[in-house]
Amino acid sequence: MGSNVIEQPRNQPGTECLEQEAEALRFPGTGQLICYWGALVLLTAASVYLIHLQFAHPGRCVQPANDPFGIVTPPWLMLPVPPLGAIGSLGHAFWQAIRGRQCWKWILAGVAFAGLLASGELLGTCV
């Protein structure tokens, strides 16, 4: 078979180093790792802010709806669920990342709990 004319000689000094750097940039795991850690850090910062905001302004809870059967969930039972869920899911995502695994489902769970916190703040209610 004929050789490829477009190939450049690899004997030039410095080309091996450039090839290694280009290979490192093209490695798909590096970009995914940066996106994973970036999402984890940003989501943690947003969740911490929303949890702080919820506990800094605790008096904005709406009274529970009247249930004809008398079954009402007390607000003190529901208030800690989104913050604990956000802390738990983000903590598990950090633990998996430190162990070298990328579990996006835990980040999505953290997004869901942060969304609950944010919707409670936007609606002026306690979730």
pLDDT tens sequence across 24-62: 555 566 778 888 889 999 999 999 988 888 777 765 555
How far is Cα 62 from Cα 124, in angstroms, rounded to an integer? Answer: 8
For the whole model, what pTM was predicted?
Answer: 0.62
Closest CA to 51 of 19, 18, 87, 22: 87
Q: Residue 57 burial (CB < 10 Å; 0-12/13-18/19+)? A: exposed
How far is Cα 79 from Cα 67, in angstroms, rounded to an integer? Answer: 19
